[in-house]
Amino acid sequence: MSNYVYILIGFATIYAVRVLPLTLFRKPIKSRFFRSFLYYVPYVTLAVMTFPAIVQATEKPLAGAAALIVGIAVSLFGGSLFVVASACCATVFLLELFI
Amino acid sequence: MPNKKPSPFLEGMRDGLPIGLGYFAVAFSLGIAAKSAGVTPLQGFTASFLCMASAGEYALFTLIGAGAPVIEVIVLTLITNARYFLMSCALSQRFSPDTPFFHRLTVGAVVTDEIFGATIARKGYVEPAYNYGIMLLAVPGWSVGTALGIIMGTLLPARLVSALSVALYGMFLATIIPPMKKSLPIALCVACGFLFSWLFGVLPLLSEISTGMRTIILTVVLSAAAALIFPAKEEARDE
């Protein structure tokens, strides 16, 4: 299957996800369960996709693990998206100079 | 029209500049992931231009690399982008009845975490021109960054690629970690996400499940459990 077919399927799906609520559901969602479910989805998805993948993405797993810890720490201290991403990169770069 | 108030379009460009620059840097790391999945620069540019999604595109490129079936692409795209559904629900409540319908189709196409945040932080009804101002800088930043990541990823030293490849995860962490301080349910969701994702990778039988399916299964099960145990408060709808 061509990569463009994958991309078009991904685009069609994501466009529907974004635009359907704006066109069809003009009233608030009633179901408290469904609302709660959607509320938690991004956190679980991103957590599952981050770990252990971050440890496996680097040349040395130890550097990836350090980037995870630094990323969590900088996030806790209020670092913006860009600052946290940079801190993670810098950690891996510096550590892999030595290990 | 009073002259004092800057046009929504220019305000959008002002807010879009830092968003676009941040996107450019992070998209570079997405491009490196795309490259390892066998995606060409033009394909990466197209995917980013159309999809404007970090986690969603990362998942898409992973599935391309694995040669996954169509149904897995659709289901995982739905799951990784489910938050945009929620954001669009919130945005739909902020459209003026006087705003022409087609603006819903174009503003809705580029609902991202940052753009949603900037839009919802403004008072009153959604002004489509404001969103178009952001999009003018954010969309090229994201799509050109992805293409350059694919092109340059191979030219850079391995150590630098290794370092840049964690930028995307850094962005994910910046999204999920800060709310853990304010919400115990979210803290548990993230902690359980880490724990079970790791367990699924190392336990016999479970480790044979593809990473895409693992993401789907864990997201549905853990989010449903959280929704049952900790029903979200009313204001959660607008976040």
Interatomic CA distance for residues B140 and A87, integer angstroms: 24
Inform me whether the pLDDT recorded for A18 exceeds 90. Answer: yes
- What is the structure's pLDDT at B3? 57
One digit per residue, the tens of pLDDT, for chain B of length 239 reads 455 678 999 999 988 887 888 788 789 889 999 998 999 999 999 999 999 998 899 999 999 999 999 999 999 999 888 878 878 887 887 888 888 999 999 999 999 878 887 887 788 899 999 999 999 999 999 999 999 999 998 787 888 878 888 887 888 898 889 999 999 999 999 999 999 999 999 999 898 887 777 887 898 899 999 999 999 775 444 44
Check: CB of residue B9 under 8 Å from CB of residue B133: yes
CB contact under 8 A, B170 and A19: no
Task: Please indicate whether, in this complex, the C-beta atoms of A71 and B190 are within 8 angstroms of each other.
Answer: no
The C-alpha atoms of residue B119 and residue B100 are separated, in whole angstroms, by 18
Res B172: pLDDT: 83
Residues of B in contact with A78 (CB under 8 A): 178
- Identify the closest residue of chain A to B202 by CA–CA distance: A52
Identify the pLDDT of residue A29: 67
Beta-strand ranges (E) seen in B51-119 are: none
Mean pLDDT to the nearest integer, A71-92: 91
pLDDT, averaged across chain A: 89
pLDDT at B37: 92
Touching check for A33 and chain B: CB below 8 Å? yes
Q: Could you tell me the residue range of the domain that residue A40 belongs to?
A: 3-98
DSSP state of B101: T
For CA atoms B200, B205, B210, B212, the dihedral sign is negative
Q: What is the pLDDT of residue B238?
A: 43
Query: What span, in angstroms and rounded, lies between the C-alpha atoms of A56 and A47?
Result: 15
CA distances from B85 to A1, B127, B169, B184 (A): 28, 20, 22, 23
Total domains, chain A:
1
Instruction: Give the count of alpha carbons within 13 A of B178, CB side only.
Output: 13
Integer Cα distance of A47 and B72 in angstroms? 20
**For chain B, which residues make up each domain, given as ranges?**
8-165, 177-239
Burial (CB count within 10 angstroms: exposed 0-12, middle 13-18, buried 19+), residue B129 = middle
Percent of chain A with pLDDT over 90: 54
Q: Give the tokens for residue B216.
A: 């789907």
Query: Is the distance from CB of A41 to CB of B219 less than 8 angstroms?
Result: yes
Report the interhelical angle of B128-153 vs B113-120 (nearest 10°). 160
Handedness of CA B70, B71, B74, B80 (dihedral sign): negative
Give the integer Cα–Cα distance in Å for B136 and B155: 29
- What pLDDT, on the 0 to 100 scale, is given for residue B180? 94
The structure's pTM equals: 0.75
pLDDT for position A90: 95
- The interface residues of chain A toward chain B in range 46-85, judged by CB-CB distance below 8 A, are 46-54, 57-60, 63-64, 67-68, 71-72, 74-76, 78-85
Which residues of chain B are within 8 Å of residue A6 when distances are taken between CB atoms?
60, 63-64, 73
